[in-house]
Every structure is written in structure tokens, then in C-alpha cells.
Chain A
Amino acid sequence: MSNEVALELKEVTKKYKKTNVISKMDLQIKNGEFLVLLGPSGCGKSTTLRMIAGLEKPSSGQILIDGQDAEKISSMERNLAMVFQDYALYPNMTVYQNLEYALKVHKVKKEERQQRLAKILETLNLTEYQDRLPGELSGGQKQRVALGRGMAKQSKIFLLDEPLSNIDVQLREKARDEIQTLHEENQQTIVYVTHDQLEAMALGDRIAIINDGKIQMIDTPDNIYNHPANLFVAQFVGTPQINILEVDVQTTQLVYAEYPVLTNSARLAKLSVPSGQLYLGIRPEHVVVKCKQESASELPAQVEAVIDYGRYQQLTLKLEEKQVLKAIITNNNFKIGDIVYASLAEDKILLFDHKGKNNLES
């Protein structure tokens, strides 16, 4: 069983000058899994990665690599490769030397080195640049060299620290696809740190959302998006941001202002929520906007802004008392100032308790 787990964090805590950057983190990563650590800047995701890499020591807790305590084995035995955010290429060595250096120091035979590197250079389209110095490369090329240097080691676990954040937007998608292809081919265990949710969604088998040094949720992209564990995850993932309304629980219905947004629902009955207030979350694409009111549950609103993205339009609707609702529509039927009615797709509504801000259904 334990062989299936490539990497495990047990109650790992990291303190800097008494403040906890990471507090009691538990994490299991399976062999061959692509795990993304996602969170806002300063949330501790890079620190987590650096601790896995052995560049920093946990203040308490344990990191197990292949079932062995990482602190008790040498960096060789850890068998990790890492790609740094700004690549950290050796500036005094050519592309080829950069890839070759670690292998040479660890006395991998010359033929084997040449064989491995030729293949990597080929895969990453770097063959013609192999004699250049890092200073003579573009951002995208540097990023590929950094990737190649990690690949050359053929390590079991591959750590990537925001590898795409320093390259142009146009190239980013291509580089992302490359990383994905590489993972499919080699089936390495990958831990990937990013603050970009699209990147995380596109790449990760699972995503761990980190905030305040804690894992808020760890699951597949689908569950993260559609069944967020708490309000933070719901708000952090998805653009435009999820709409949050404060609603009252009244026996069998949820009421926003005087409008019953969810009535007689089986869901509500199952939840057995106490009366009082709840947070209701609804993603903009699940807000249906109409010209005429068709039922009492629809909220009257005024269109405050329209942003036309071509493929779809984003409406900013003003409800009563400064509450704003964002909606994504595709029919482009509305203009600023229109009075409209917004209905919330009932099965897509998310409910969070008012105090703990946790999803009531997960």
C-alpha cells in the first residue's frame, strides 16, 4: 500500500520568527500524480514546496519520501528534481552543460549522458541552442532548459515552482501543454506550485488550495470548482468571482431580501439547517437574466455595466442595498440601465454556514 504514496507530509509546521507560515499540514501524493498547490501569494505554497525539496527544514512534523523520513536520507536518495521560478540556470554554463552538470558530477557514463540529453534537447526543441549561454536565451527557452535540467536527472519526483509565471502570455499555453505531455509520457510524480487558477485547473490531477498556511481543500478540478469546501475556495476559484448573498433561512425556504431564492427544496430539507443566516454562492454563469419576472423567486435588478467579451457578455446587476450580482450571458440582449430579473439556477446554488464559512453539503 505504502508504495503507492510517493510523498507524504505529516503535521508539517513551519515557523518564521514565531509566526506559522505552514501549520500542521497533512498531504499525501500518489505515485505518478500531478498535484498542483494553488493559492494567493504569501499563502505558504512555495514554502511547502521548498520543504519537500529539502531546501528548508520543517519546524515540526515529518516529510516522508517513498515512506522514508526525508531528513534522514541524503539529497541523492531523495531523488528529486526542481524547476525554479526564475529558472536558476547556471549562468556560466551553456545549455548543454547546464543539463549535463549534475549527471557529470554524479558520474553518469558519458554515452548515457549524451543519449539522455540528446533526447531531452530534441523533445524540448533546444537542440540548436545547446551551445548558448542562458543569457542569450529568451524567457521561454530558459524555461525549457530549466525543465530539461530537471528531466535529465530522471528523478521520481519533479517539483515545479511557478515555472510559467515569467514567460509571455502567448507562450504560456504552449509551455503548459508541453508540461502536460511530458507528464503523460513519463508518469513522474509532479508537485506544481502556481497562483494561476487556469494553469492549476488545466494541469492538475488534483489541486490543493492553500491559504493561511493550511490546505483549504484538496480534490479534482471539477470538485474544486463545483463543490468548493468553503467560502474561500469558492471565491478564490473562478473568474468572474462567485456571487455571494447573505440569505435567511425561513422554515422551508431561503429568502434574500423578501425574495424566496430557494423554496420547498428537497436539498434544504436534507440539510436540516438551523434557522438564521447563511451564505449563498452562485457562479455568474448560473445566473439567468430575463426581461420579465416569471416567478416570485426572481430578483429585480438594474444593469449597471456590460462587458462584451465577444464569446459571452458579463453583466453587473445592481440589487437592493448595494448588493451586486455578476452574470454571464450569451445573447447580448441588455444594455446599461435596463431593469431585469435574475433567477438563480437552483441545483447550482452553493450554501455555506454563516459562522464557519464551510460548505453545508460537503
Chain B
Amino acid sequence: MNSRSSKKNKFLTFAYLAPTAIILLVFMIIPIIYTLYLSFFDWNLIAPTKDFVGLENYISIFTDPVNQKVLLNTVFYIVLLLVLNFLIPYFISIVVKFFIGKMQSSYKIIFFIPSLFSLVVGAMLFSWIMNPVSGPIAFFMRQLGVSLPNWTNSGAMAIVVLCLMTNWKVFGYNFVLLLTGLGSVPQNIIDATKMDSIPKWRMIWDIVLPLNKSIAFYVLILTIVQGLQYVFTPISVITQGGPYYGSSNVLYHTYLNAFVLYKTGNASALAVITFLIFLVLLYLEIKFVEGRADRYE
């Protein structure tokens, strides 16, 4: 290729990548750095001056009881999200793939419908269904002689209900992803296990799950990363983190600090911590889902 056309190519490469690159730089890269910068200051988002406080914001995250509670809640959220949004959809996708013959695509189509809804709608609907006084579930339980506890009064119960709201939305999406992964296990390998008279669950455990582990791990990581952000909406709409920070997670607490309490420094430090956690997850994803990021070597 002569130098003129290679020059032209360079220009085109630049032109094609520029829109994405500029937006990412302005609204992603620089903000991350700026947030990191803010995390060393005491500021209220409005005042013209910021006070440098060193690592104080970070120290308070690990010493302040409210922050500790929020971090602990976040761990609880992650565990619940993994069970609800990853393990259960995975189990169901295995059932649909290997234990039923027909209707696979019908289930796919139906399961996906809730992901069309805004989480605000989901939160509203579930707060009606789970309403401890007037909701259908409470109504049913009254018929059985038990009363639905007022879950908004308990942090742990509130977390469960909030996770169920996101589960409703995310279930079908994750189901579709995992089902696709299972579908990419070659049929002849499954036939080979049939010839070897391997029992079905054994086949799934020994062959299908190991072969599907990279997509499963991808969905697992996504479940945590997106799940924690998804629950933000129901928290904000239904509990606002209450009772007494009992249902707050690290993302909602960041928002609360930034835009309600105007403790920008604290919020930034929390955001940086969240970012670091997600970076660890990103590292794990690259390590286990090999080949995803380096498709352009």
C-alpha cells in the first residue's frame, strides 16, 4: 500500500473512532479521574472551595457504622442476585434445553416480556403485589391464616423484595443468554454421551457445564455488575434505602451522599470503591472468559 492511501486510512480510522472516543473521554474517562480527585476533598457540590482531607473519606467508609452497614448490605445483595438472577435462570435454561422437547422458543418469548418494562413499573407493581395490608399476596396469606410481615420495616426483608423486583425484569434476559450458551454445545458431543449411556444430569455436570463455563461466567459477572445498578431504581422508588439504611447498597448510598446529603467527597470515595470492586470483576471476567477482550491481537 502506498503512503498516500495509508495516510488516508489513518485519517479514516481516526474519523470513525473519534465520535465514540470523544464521548468516552469526556463522559467516562475524565469523570472517573475527576471522581478520584474529588474523593480526597470535603465538598458540598456547590461551594466554590474544596477542602483537601487526604484519605479521610476512605477511612470513614470502613469505620462509619452506616457505611459499614451499607457495604454489608451490598454483599447480601450480591449473594441474593447471584441466586435469583443467575442460578435460577441457569437451572431453568438447562431444563428447557435438555429436558423438554418442544416449546423452547415459546418459553423464550414469554420469559423475555418483563424485560421490556421499566424498573419503575416493576417496583410499583411489586409494591402493590407485596403490599403487607392490601396486596394480593397478603390477601392470600390471610386466607391461610398467616399475615404477611411488613417487609418495609426490615432491611433484610426489604432487600429480598427489591431483588425480586429486579429478578422479574432480568430473569428472561439472562435465561436467553444462558440458553444460547447451552445451545452452542455441539450436538454430536451430547450424542456421544448418549452412546456411552451417561445419565443426563451426569452429562450436564461433566460435559455441558464445563463447556459452557465461559458464557456462564460472563452472565454471572454481568449479574453482579448490572444487578447492583438495577436495584438502584426500586430502592430509590420504594424504600429510599430504608429502614435506616437497611436496604441501601453502595450505589444508592453514593447517590444519597452526592445529591441528597451533599457530601460529595464521601460519595466520590464510595464510587471509587465500587469502581475498584467492578474492576476486580472485570479482571476475573478477562481471566475466565478468555479471548473476549483480546479478539484483536
Using a CB–CB cutoff of 8 Å, the interface residues on chain A facing chain B are 50, 53-55, 74-76, 80-82, 84-86, 88-92, 101-102, 105-106, 149, 153
A-B interface, 4 closest residue pairs, ranked by CB to CB distance from nearest = A102-B196, A88-B192, A88-B188, A92-B210
Are the CB atoms of B189 and A88 closer together than 8 Å? yes
The secondary-structure label for the interface of chain B is helix
Tell me whether A101 and B191 are in contact in the complex, defined as CB-CB below 8 angstroms, given that A88-B186, A90-B207, A92-B210 are known contacts: no
Are the CB atoms of B207 and A54 closer together than 8 Å? no
Tell me whether A76 and B195 are in contact in the complex, defined as CB-CB below 8 angstroms, given that A88-B188, A105-B202 are known contacts: no
Contacts of B195 in A (CB 8 A): 53-55, 75, 80-82
Are the CB atoms of A55 and B211 closer together than 8 Å? no
Contacts of B206 in A (CB 8 A): 90, 101
Whole-angstrom distance between the alpha carbons of A316 and B265 in the complex? 91
Kindly supply a per-residue 1/0 record for chain B positions 170-214, scoring 1 wherever the CB is within 8 Å of any chain A CB and 0 otherwise. 000000000000000010110110111111001000110011000
Whole-angstrom distance between the alpha carbons of A91 and B190 in the complex? 12
Are the CB atoms of A105 and B199 closer together than 8 Å? yes
Whole-angstrom distance between the alpha carbons of A82 and B107 in the complex? 34
Select one of A55, A86, A90, A106 contacting B197, CB under 8 A: A106
Whole-angstrom distance between the alpha carbons of A101 and B116 in the complex? 44
Q: How far is the CB of A85 from chain B (nearest CB, A)?
A: 8
- A150: nearest residue on chain B (CB-CB)? B195
Contacts of B210 in A (CB 8 A): 92
Count: A-B pairs, CB below 8 Å? 53
Are the CB atoms of B188 and A91 closer together than 8 Å? no
Are the CB atoms of A86 and B188 closer together than 8 Å? yes
Contacts of B189 in A (CB 8 A): 88-91
Can you give 5 A-B contacts (C-beta < 8 A)?
A: A75-B195, A90-B207, A91-B211, A92-B210, A101-B206
Contacts of B196 in A (CB 8 A): 101-102, 105, 153
Whole-angstrom distance between the alpha carbons of A152 and B120 in the complex? 59
- B185: nearest residue on chain A (CB-CB)? A91
Whole-angstrom distance between the alpha carbons of A91 and B210 in the complex? 9
Using a CB–CB cutoff of 8 Å, the interface residues on chain B facing chain A are 186, 188-189, 191-192, 194-199, 202, 206-207, 210-211
Contacts of B192 in A (CB 8 A): 82, 84, 88-90, 149
The secondary-structure label for the interface of chain A is loop
Contacts of B211 in A (CB 8 A): 91-92
Are the CB atoms of A102 and B198 closer together than 8 Å? yes
Contacts of B199 in A (CB 8 A): 105
Whole-angstrom distance between the alpha carbons of A53 and B210 in the complex? 26
Whole-angstrom distance between the alpha carbons of A91 and B206 in the complex? 11
Q: How far is the CB of A38 from chain B (nearest CB, A)?
A: 21
Whole-angstrom distance between the alpha carbons of A86 and B191 in the complex? 12
**Among B188, B194, B197, B211: residue with most chain A CB under 10 A:** B197
Contacts of B197 in A (CB 8 A): 74-76, 102, 105-106
Select one of B191, B198, B202, B207 contacting A84, CB under 8 A: B191
Whole-angstrom distance between the alpha carbons of A101 and B202 in the complex? 11
- B187: nearest residue on chain A (CB-CB)? A88
Whole-angstrom distance between the alpha carbons of A88 and B194 in the complex? 12
Whole-angstrom distance between the alpha carbons of A81 and B193 in the complex? 11
Are the CB atoms of B194 and A75 closer together than 8 Å? yes
Whole-angstrom distance between the alpha carbons of A267 and B206 in the complex? 65
Q: How far is the CB of B224 from chain A (nearest CB, A)?
A: 25
Are the CB atoms of A54 and B194 closer together than 8 Å? yes
Are the CB atoms of A88 and B202 closer together than 8 Å? no
Contacts of A80 in B (CB 8 A): 195
- A50: nearest residue on chain B (CB-CB)? B191
Q: How far is the CB of B142 from chain A (nearest CB, A)?
A: 51
Known A92-B207, A105-B202, A153-B196; further 4 A-B contacts with Cβ < 8 A? A55-B194, A76-B197, A84-B191, A90-B189
Whole-angstrom distance between the alpha carbons of A64 and B47 in the complex? 88
Q: How far is the CB of A191 from chain B (nearest CB, A)?
A: 13
Whole-angstrom distance between the alpha carbons of A59 and B56 in the complex? 76
- A53: nearest residue on chain B (CB-CB)? B195
Tell me whether A55 and B191 are in contact in the complex, defined as CB-CB below 8 angstroms, given that A74-B197, A105-B202, A106-B197 are known contacts: yes
Are the CB atoms of B198 and A105 closer together than 8 Å? yes
Contacts of A81 in B (CB 8 A): 195
Whole-angstrom distance between the alpha carbons of A101 and B186 in the complex? 18
Contacts of A101 in B (CB 8 A): 196, 198, 206
Q: How far is the CB of A205 from chain B (nearest CB, A)?
A: 23
- B202: nearest residue on chain A (CB-CB)? A105
